[in-house]
């Protein structure tokens, strides 16, 4: 488990939605500083001196490298930045699929890799904002990108866990943000999602399911592992 008080945090995609709520609630939990990352840092509304707007494009290696130079004291990383382009996977529009993967999948990998040593030095936490669509594909490229991030989150945990880093995957259905503004369906408030995530961090959770739908879908995946494959699992005797 990771205690958030007195930590320094980095939140990507911090200019709106869940990212902005992460910044707000991290401050309430007593962090010393939050680097609020966004491609356009002028979009960050600063109302607390502990918030440091940070120009950060998770798809640009030079931007990521500059962020590490500025924010080398980070112990908490929240990989929140994401996009939805609603591309099909077989319509030949691979450019849009690649763009989505760059932000939703390769972006968290780049950020986590760049800050891994800093977070490990503080026995900190990496939070990946994923989705129930990792497991419940509705068609389109978004599910593909989030399924990839789910798998990557589990792999990150195997690599960073032995270094004392807590890696938390966050899974939820529709959240009431700009991204879902045109969708007529039940939505969870960003504040509720983030509150559950921060409680989970401090309780030592490795996964946070933010709504009933997600918990039900995740529960359906909890099947016993066939004994033929058990020997390949970490820690198997």
Q: Which residues are catalytic?
A: 142, 146
Strand partners, 171: 209
Residue 104 sits at the vertex; the CA angle it makes with 99 and 107, to the nearest 5 degrees, is 90
Contacts of 234 (CB under 8 A, 6+ apart): 158
Beta strand extents in 118-157 (DSSP E only): 125-129
Q: Distance between CA 184 and CA 124 in Å, rounded? A: 38
Say if CB 117 and CB 165 are below 8 A apart: no
In terms of Cα–Cα distance, which of 117, 177, 178, 169 is closest to 148?
A: 169
Instruction: Please count the residues of the chain.
Output: 237
CA distances from 128 to 65, 165, 185, 226 (A): 20, 13, 24, 28
Give me 59's structure tokens.
Answer: 């798809």
Strand partners, 54: 37
Say if CB 50 and CB 27 are below 8 A apart: yes
Say if CB 40 and CB 15 are below 8 A apart: yes
């Amino acid at each position: 488990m990771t205690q958030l008080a007195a930590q320094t945090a980095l939140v990507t995609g911090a200019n709106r939605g869940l990212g902005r709520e992460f910044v707000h609630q991290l401050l309430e939990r007593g962090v010393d500083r939050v680097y609020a990352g966004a491609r356009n840092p002028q979009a960050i509304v600063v109302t607390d001196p502990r918030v440091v707007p940070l120009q950060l494009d998770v798809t640009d290696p030079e931007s990521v490298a500059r962020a590490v130079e500025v924010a080398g004291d980070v112990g908490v990383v929240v990989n929140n930045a994401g996009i939805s382009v609603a591309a099909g996977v077989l319509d030949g529009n691979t450019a849009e699929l690649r763009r989505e993967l760059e932000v939703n999948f390769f972006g968290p990998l780049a950020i986590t890799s760049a800050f891994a040593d800093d977070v490990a030095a503080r026995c900190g936490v990496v939070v990946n904002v994923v989705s129930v669509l990792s497991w419940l594909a509705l068609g389109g490229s978004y599910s593909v990108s989030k399924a990839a991030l789910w798998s990557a989150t589990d792999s990150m945990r195997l690599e960073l866990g032995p270094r004392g880093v807590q890696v938390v995957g966050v899974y939820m259905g529709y959240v009431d943000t700009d991204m879902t503004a045109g969708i007529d369906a039940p939505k969870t408030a960003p504040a509720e999602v983030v509150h559950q995530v921060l409680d989970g961090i401090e309780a030592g959770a490795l996964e946070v399911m933010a709504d009933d739908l997600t918990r039900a879908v995740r529960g359906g995946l909890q099947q016993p592992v066939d004994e033929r494959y058990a020997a390949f699992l970490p820690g198997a005797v």
